[in-house]
Amino acid sequence: MSATLEAPELASRWGLFTHRDFRLLWAGQTVSRLGSSITSIALPLVAVLALDAGPQAVGLLTAAAWLPWLFFGLPAGVWVGRVPRRSVMIVCNLGSAALFASVPLASGLGVLTLTQLLAVAFLTGTAAVFFDAAFHAYLPELVPAEDLIEANAKLEGSASAANVAGRGLAGLTVQLLGAAAGLLADAVSFLIAAATLRAIRARPAATPAAALGTAAGAAPVAALEAPAREGLLREVREGLAFLWRDPYLRAFTLYGAAANFALAGGYQSVAALFLVRDAGIAPGWVGALASAGAVGGILGALVARPLCRRLGTARGLRIVLLTVSPVGLLMPLAGPGARAAFYVVGLFGVVAAVTLVNVVLSSFRQSYTPPALLTRVTAGAMVAGYTLIPLGALAAGALGDAVGTRATMWVMTTLLALCGALPLASPLRTLRDLPGRPGPTGSSSS
């Protein structure tokens, strides 16, 4: 059950920022995302500067951080559904803090090895799997369903701002204090996030399974209670069955997987090389261009709620997917001087669109999925999306060697634009608003 919010406060212009528990969650997550953004730059630099690692070793570090989704993603969705979400999140934050703090400690003692870095990347990636599965199920326990879009928008907006700021701080930290110091900053950010979670007062009560009704395309929810008495594989299958049989969740999961393949895997793996070698951008400007484009994430989060209120959640998604996502096709046109603006504008549009879509789809999944299935459905969607990231990177690398990075950018940005049509393979194409719960026909108001 969601924590009770005071109506007068909700009516204020500050919205959920007047809700103490959400404010704590938001602050902790913002600080944590800032630290993680620093680590995304600092961790590979530790390998390169402290251990003289080559491209293959740096690639292994990236893979080590994503592999836990393949191994633990689906079981995490089952296990997290059995225990208090907040406790899982606190433990994951504390474990990540200890792991990242071990790197500067080992570096200072002169005993740091690549094996330790790989272990830290893999174990913190494992903690992220369990944390994310718990977090996406915890948010609807903390705020009412009608406020989920606002909550996700605020979280995504601050995360985008943290990513922009974190890249700049990473460069400054590495230059002044060394690469290992960046990981220490991330360790502190995890401790702060754990402390804010610990300070949250709300203790959500478990929702009785009998009150959840029957989910469309799945077994009666009453049959899903008492997960401790069911086998792990059976529970995983039930979550995947609901995810695949529901027309909305299936279409959105396919979109997320394809978009991650094209954007997070394919485009990002060749972007820096494209900018320097093909577009003629000075290496020192690559990070600045990425940060300028990433500001689009802040805009996407800011407009998500008003856009959905004015146009409807389904109609707003259709418009963004079909009109804003294709702006990414400007990026392959980038070149020296003023032509660098093509890259910034294209990236700005893509990041804005992806952030807005993530806000709406996360809110929809959290309010639409029966609570007894939420952690399993969330984990299934994340596994489908995240495991395609390394495949996208491998495909882009092979394509880049074969036809060049500019042609690869055209392929990946075109694929990303085409991904926007996947959600239209669901009833989304005829609705004004996405449905609030599963039904026998999946119908909603138009």
Question: What Cα–Cα distance (Å) separates residue 112 from each residue in 55, 60, 116, 299, 345?
Answer: 19, 17, 7, 41, 41
CA distance 49 to 178: 9
- Residue 406 and residue 280 in contact, taking contact as beta carbons nearer than 8 Å: no
Please, what are the domains in the chain?
15-202 (1.20.1250.20), 240-430 (1.20.1250.20)
pLDDT in tens, 229-282: 457 788 888 889 999 999 999 999 999 999 989 887 788 777 877 888 888 888
DSSP 331: G
What 3-state DSSP class applies to 220? strand
Q: Tokens 């009785």 sit at which residue?
A: 208
* Range with the poorest average pLDDT among 46-55, 319-328, 384-393, 427-436: 46-55
**pTM higher than 0.85, yes or no?**
no
pLDDT in tens, 310-369: 999 999 999 998 888 889 999 999 999 899 999 999 999 998 998 899 999 989 998 898
Mean pLDDT of the chain: 82
Mean pLDDT of 69-86: 88
